[in-house]
Chains A and B, each alone.
Chain A
Amino acid sequence: MRLDRLASLVRSKNAGPFQLTFDIMFGEAALYERVKASKVLNAPLIARLYDCELSSVQFFECDNALAFKATIPRRHVQGEFGDPDLHGGQQHAPLMAVEIPD
C-alpha cells in the first residue's frame, strides 16, 4: 500500500536555511508499527529519492510521536537565486508514493 494511504501526514519543510526535513506521521500506533516493521523507510531510501550522500542523511524513528523523520542538506540554500521552494514545503511527493508491503 502507498505510504500516503497509511500516514496521517507526509510533509517537507526547511530546518533552517541549509537543511530540508521530512516528517511522516501516523494517527494510529498500529499503522506506525506496521510501517516501522516493514523496514522500508530508512536513510538509504531517502538518499536514493533525494539523490544525496547516504552519510548526509539523518533518519529518526520517533516512537513517542508515531513518526519518522529524515533530514538532508538542501540542494539550494533557502531563497538563493534558483531555489525553487522557499519554504521547502513541496518536496515530499516522492515519499507519498513509497510502497509499503502488506
Chain B
Amino acid sequence: MEEIRFVAATGAVGAGVDRESLAAALERRPHFIAADAGTTDAGPAALGSGVPAFAKDAVKRDLAEMLRAGREGGIPVIVGSAGTAGADVHVDWTLDIVREICAEDDLSLKVVVVRSQQDPEYLLEMLAAGRIHPISPAPVMNEATIRRSVRVVGMMGVESIQRALATSPDLVLAGRASDSALYAAMPIALGFPEGLAWHVGKIVECGTLACETRGPGAMLATIRADHAVIQPIGPDLRCTPMSVAAHTLYENADPYLFKEASGVLDLQHVVFEAETESSVRVSGATFHPASAYNVKLEGAELAGYSTVMIGGIRDPFIIGRLDWWLGKMTEYFEHSVRVLLGLNPGDYQISLHTYGRDGVMGELEPERKSAVHEIGVVFEVLAADQSTATEIAKLARQPLLHLPVPEWKGAVTTIAYLHNPPQIERGPVYRFNMHHVVMPRSEEEMFRIESMEVGSTRAVSAAATT
C-alpha cells in the first residue's frame, strides 16, 4: 500500500458536517472517515452529570451524514469521545442515536463499541500499586479522590481503535479517546510512519480549523512513506504552510511535544510546504515510544449545588466604594447565615463577580481601577445541597438590595435585579479532579470492546441475501 487516504468529517460531531464536502471527499476514495465527538473544553459538567454538551439533533444529523458516507464508500466510520466526555452513559446515548439513524435510514451496521470508563476499584488497585502518576499541575490524588469521583475515563490511544478496526466494523464508537488517535490508528496499523500518522491526526482533528479560510468543509489527508498531504475540501477552503503550522498551537500547552498513550509526538523538525494552492505537504515528525504504555485519566466529582443571583449597579456612589460596600454586604449576610442557618463560611462558598470592573479576570485585572458607570453583579453560592444554597442566596438578597452607603441619607435600593425571583437554582456543580496517568498492566484491561449488529432486521436480511 503506497498511500492511505482519510477524511476528517468535522471538527466535532454536532458542530456540523457539510454534506457536499463529504461527498466530494468520498470521490477521492478514502479508506476511512473519522471525527471526534467530545472534549474536556466543554467543562466538567458533561463528565460529572452524564449529560452531553452538544444538542442531540445536531449529533444525530452529523452521525447520519457520516454513516451514510461510510456506507456509500464501503469504509469504516470512526467516532471517538462519544457524547462529549466518553463515559459509558455518553457512549450509550450516542449508540441510541445510531440505532435511531439505522431505523430511520434503513441501515444495518456492524458497530464496535470501545468503552473507556474506569471502575473505581480498578483505579484504587492501580493507585495502591503505585501505577498512577501526576501530570503537572495536578490536584491531590488519593483513595478519597477516586471514591469521590462520579465518573472517571481513560483516554485511549491508537491500540484500542486498532483492535476495533481489526474486526472490520462499519462504525467504531469509542469512549474517551485521543482525537489524533482516531486518525492515526489505521495508518499505523498498516505500517505508515507513526510520527507522520500522529502529526496528520493532530492537524485534521479540528476539521477545517487548520485552514487559512473559514467555512464549511472536510479535511482529506493522504499519508505516504515519507510525507503527508493535507487537502481541505469545501468552497474556497485553503490550507497554507503557515495556517497548518499555526494550528498546531491551538489549545495545546506545548507546540512541539505531544504526549500520547504510547509515546511522544515530536514536531520540532517538521517541514510544511505548499503542495498546491490549497494543500500542504508535511514531513519530519518523529515519534518517541514511551517506556511504558500510559493512559491519561479524566475524573469529575460533585462540588456541591449552586444558586445564582444576577443584578446591576448604576449608582456612582456605590460603584465608587464597591469593595467597601460588597465587604459590608458579605459581613451582613454571613452573620444572618450563621444565626439563622447555623452555617459558618467554611460550610459554603460564595463567588462574587463584578462585571464591568474585573468579572472576567478577577484579581489579575490590570484596569480594575478604571472609571466605569455600571457594574454587573453575579452572586453565586455553593452549598452541600440545593435548598441550602438557595436559602443562603435569599439571605444575601436583602443586604444586596438595601445596604446603605454613607453618601445618601434615607432608604436606598442598591441593586437592579434581573429576575423575579432574583435567585436561579443552577443544580449540581462538578469539578475536574484528576490530571494523572495510569500505567495499566495491559491496554485491554482499561478499554473494552463489544461488537454488535445495529439496524433494521429488514436491512440485515437484505444484506444477508446479497
Residue ranges of A at the interface with B (Cβ–Cβ < 8 Å): 13-19, 21, 23, 25, 49-51, 56, 58, 60, 62, 64-67, 69, 71, 73-75, 77-82, 84-87, 90-91, 93-94, 97
Would you call B272 an interface residue if the criterion is a C-beta within 8 Å of the partner chain's C-beta atoms?
A: yes
13 pairs across A/B with beta carbons < 8 Å? A17-B40, A21-B249, A62-B255, A69-B249, A75-B362, A77-B432, A79-B45, A79-B430, A79-B432, A80-B303, A80-B429, A81-B306, A81-B429
CA distance A3 to B356 in the complex (A): 23
Nearest-CB distance from A18 to chain B (Å)? 5
Instruction: Return the contact of B43 from the options A19, A62, A78, A94 (Cβ within 8 A).
Output: A78
Nearest-CB distance from B398 to chain A (Å)? 23
Q: Do the beta carbons of B137 and A73 come within 8 Å of each other?
A: yes
Q: A81 and B361 in contact (CB under 8 A), knowing A58-B254, A71-B254?
A: no
Instruction: Return the contact of A84 from the options B40, B253, B360, B431 (Cβ within 8 A).
Output: B360
Q: Do the beta carbons of B364 and A82 come within 8 Å of each other?
A: no
Q: Do the beta carbons of A94 and B44 come within 8 Å of each other?
A: no
Max chain A Cβ within 10 angstroms of own Cβ: one of B249, B304, B360, B382 = B249
Max chain B Cβ within 10 angstroms of own Cβ: one of A56, A64, A87 = A64
| Chain A hits for B41, CB < 8 A | 14, 78, 87
Q: Do the beta carbons of B363 and A79 come within 8 Å of each other?
A: no
For B, the interface residue count at a CB cutoff of 8 angstroms equals 43
Would you call B312 an interface residue if the criterion is a C-beta within 8 Å of the partner chain's C-beta atoms?
A: no
Nearest-CB distance from A20 to chain B (Å)? 9
Q: Do the beta carbons of B251 and A80 come within 8 Å of each other?
A: no
Nearest-CB distance from B249 to chain A (Å)? 5
Q: A79 and B431 in contact (CB under 8 A), knowing A15-B252, A23-B250, A71-B254?
A: yes
CA distance A25 to B382 in the complex (A): 39
Q: Do the beta carbons of A65 and B248 come within 8 Å of each other?
A: yes
Would you call B73 an interface residue if the criterion is a C-beta within 8 Å of the partner chain's C-beta atoms?
A: no
CA distance A65 to B360 in the complex (A): 29
Q: Do the beta carbons of A65 and B364 come within 8 Å of each other?
A: no
Instruction: Return the contact of A90 from the options B137, B272, B360 (Cβ within 8 A).
Output: B360
Would you call B346 an interface residue if the criterion is a C-beta within 8 Å of the partner chain's C-beta atoms?
A: no
| Chain A hits for B137, CB < 8 A | 18-19, 56, 73-74
CA distance A38 to B108 in the complex (A): 62
Instruction: Return the contact of A85 from the options B249, B250, B360 (Cβ within 8 A).
Output: B360
CA distance A73 to B364 in the complex (A): 14
